[in-house]
Amino acid sequence: MIDIDDFKLVNDRYGHLQGDQVLKSIGMILSDSVKKNEFVARYGGEEFVLCFSSDNDQKCLERLDNIRKNIWNQIHQSDDGEQFRVTCSFGVTKISPSDSNESVLARADSKMYQAKQSGKNCVR
């Protein structure tokens, strides 16, 4: 689960059209980060879900941290030329055979809120 940090401030400061451009930009970064058998989707508002398989927890976390950095490195520009960046908080969980879609999303959402509570712009 991925949530754009302080997204309301982007909309309030730069307007909803610029906020929409930020969503599209992050969507493209996420889409470019998935392989053939993986997927990314906008979950709602400023949240996205990214699903991929990994048999190595450390490599998974490193991959997600690289995506987080790519989002940070993206420079956005307002209509009046002001440049700004956004950050995202990531919540990660493993799927087990006994999981339902709801249980997986609930765990990932909980981890994402832990990321927000520990300072945002991180992977938990």
- pLDDT single digits (tens) 25-61: 999 999 999 998 999 999 999 999 999 888 889 999 9
Residue 84: which domain range? 2-117
Confirm whether 46 is a catalytic residue. Answer: yes
Catalytic-labelled residue, pool 38, 46, 47, 62: 46
Q: Which residues contact 12 (CB under 8 A, 6 or more apart)?
A: none
- Work out the pLDDT band at 6, boundaries 50, 70, 90: very high
Per the domain annotation, does 26 fall within a domain? yes
Percent of the chain scored above 90 by pLDDT? 90
Choose among 122, 104, 107, 105: nearest CA to 44: 105
Q: pTM for the full model?
A: 0.94
pLDDT at position 68 is 98
On the question of pLDDT at 87 being above 90, the answer is yes
Q: What average pLDDT does the structure give for the chain?
A: 95
CATH of the domain at 52: 3.30.70.270
| Side chain identity, residue 81 | G
Q: How many CA atoms lie within 13 A of 76 on its CB side?
A: 24
Instruction: Please count the structural domains in the chain.
Output: 1
